[in-house]
């Protein structure tokens, strides 16, 4: 049986990535989670999402980049994306990974690139910094603080906190004090028991605890989950605190639980769809399959039948 652990290990393999990118079956599988390969190709999917009442966060796929040339290409793509969003009046912001901006080359490279992007995005576009594996948590939060509270503060940005990490309660309190916008998710990487809770019950209990703190005291938190229990808990806290719908937003991934996405909007909630694009789709798709290995079986069966 293909397990979550195995799929997450495969997500980090360059060799597997090379194989997958040249394999028609793997490419077809990825299409469920990816809106297109180019900026132009995502215009229509984003318009359709906007028409249905969703806002969008566009993510140009790429991570763990160690070539300066590739980093420069990513920065250039985001600069063009900002222009494209504005020119086409899309209701979208962007998400970005600091390892795609060169954090593994040197943190200064990622910090400088982030500053450049935030200046270009300002004042109308918000840039969410995705959270990667726990090896990157400290430096990601440090770079965020540097730009958010620097000499010329760049505040059109926010970060992500993962409820599977044991440290997250402390990080959430620090971010609340800073007045930072936080997206809360469970966490998608393979982590050791030393740094992360290992049972779903612990991860979920921590999610609800952190979500309550963010809804009580945070700045426009993003509740990123497809888990009905987490969503019900969010709605219960919202009612308890008498929060109007514009005080927070739900977020879900492109192609995951579409009916639930639509239902939440029909019920008057805000919903942003995290929408990735680009040809570096392999690690992202593998993490999605790891979240629900049954996806792999379903997709393979339907392709064989087709």
Ligand X SMILES: Cc1cc2nc3c(=O)[nH]c(=O)nc-3n(C[C@H](O)[C@H](O)[C@H](O)COP(=O)(O)OP(=O)(O)OC[C@H]3O[C@@H](n4cnc5c(N)ncnc54)[C@H](O)[C@@H]3O)c2cc1C
Of residues 81-110, those binding ligand X (CB under 6 A): none
Q: Which of 130, 181, 204, 287 is catalytic?
A: 130
Considering the complex, state which of residue 69 and residue 259 has its C-beta at the smaller distance from ligand X: 259
Task: Tell me the per-residue interface mask from 209 to 248 with ligand X, x by CB under 6 A, - otherwise.
Answer: ---------------xxxx---------------------
Q: Is 252 in the site for ligand X (CB under 6 A)?
A: yes
Q: Is 188 in the site for ligand X (CB under 6 A)?
A: yes
Of 4, 212, 247, 292, the residue at the interface with ligand X (CB under 6 A) is: 292
Binding footprint of ligand X, residue count (CB under 6 A): 23
Least Å distance, CB 41 to ligand X, is 20
Of 45, 158, 187, 283, the residue at the interface with ligand X (CB under 6 A) is: 187
User: Is there a contact between 136 and 99 (Cβ–Cβ < 8 Å)?
Assistant: yes
80 is catalytic: no
Count Cα neighbours of 24 within 13 Å in the Cβ-side half-sphere: 2
Least Å distance, CB 178 to ligand X, is 18
Considering the complex, state which of residue 4 and residue 145 has its C-beta at the smaller distance from ligand X: 4
**Rounded Cα–Cα distance for residues 41 and 29 (Å):** 18
Least Å distance, CB 69 to ligand X, is 25
Q: Is 282 in the site for ligand X (CB under 6 A)?
A: no
Of 16, 139, 256, 296, the residue at the interface with ligand X (CB under 6 A) is: 256
183 is catalytic: yes
Least Å distance, CB 242 to ligand X, is 25
Of 10, 182, 185, 237, the residue at the interface with ligand X (CB under 6 A) is: 185
Least Å distance, CB 302 to ligand X, is 14
**Rounded Cα–Cα distance for residues 196 and 208 (Å):** 16
| Residues marked as catalytic | 130, 183
Residues that bind ligand X in the complex, under the rule CB under 6 A: 130-131, 160, 162, 185-189, 224-227, 251-253, 256-257, 274, 288, 291-292, 295
């Amino acid at each position: 049986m293909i397990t979550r652990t195995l799929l997450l290990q495969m997500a980090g393999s360059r060799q597997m990535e090379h194989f997958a990118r040249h394999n028609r079956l793997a490419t077809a599988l990825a299409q469920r989670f990816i809106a297109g390969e180019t900026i132009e190709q995502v215009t229509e999917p984003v318009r359709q999402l906007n028409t249905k009442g969703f806002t969008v966060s566009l993510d140009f796929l790429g991570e763990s980049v160690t070539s300066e040339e590739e980093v420069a290409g990513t920065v250039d793509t985001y600069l063009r994306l900002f222009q494209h969003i504005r020119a086409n009046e899309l209701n979208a912001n962007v998400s970005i990974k600091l390892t795609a901006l060169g954090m593994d080359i040197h943190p200064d490279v990622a910090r400088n690139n982030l500053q450049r992007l935030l200046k270009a995005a300002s004042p109308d576009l918000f840039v969410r910094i995705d959270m990667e594996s726990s090896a990157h948590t400290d430096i990601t939060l440090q770079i965020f603080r540097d730009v958010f509270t620097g000499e010329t503060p760049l505040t059109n940005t926010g970060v992500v906190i993962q409820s599977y990490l044991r440290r997250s309660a402390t990080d959430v309190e620090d971010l609340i004090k800073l007045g930072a916008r936080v997206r809360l998710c469970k966490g998608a990487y393979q982590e050791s028991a030393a740094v992360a809770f290992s049972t779903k019950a612990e991860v979920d209990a921590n999610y609800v605890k952190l979500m309550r703190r963010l809804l009580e005291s945070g700045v426009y938190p993003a509740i990123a989950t497809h888990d009905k229990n987490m969503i019900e808990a969010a709605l219960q806290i919202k009612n308890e605190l008498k929060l109007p719908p514009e005080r927070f937003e739900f977020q879900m991934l492109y192609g995951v639980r579409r009916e639930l996405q639509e239902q939440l909007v029909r019920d008057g909630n805000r919903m942003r769809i995290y929408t990735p694009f680009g040809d570096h789709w392999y690690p992202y798709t593998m993490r999605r399959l790891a979240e629900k290995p049954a996806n792999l079986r379903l997709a393979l069966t339907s392709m064989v039948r087709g």
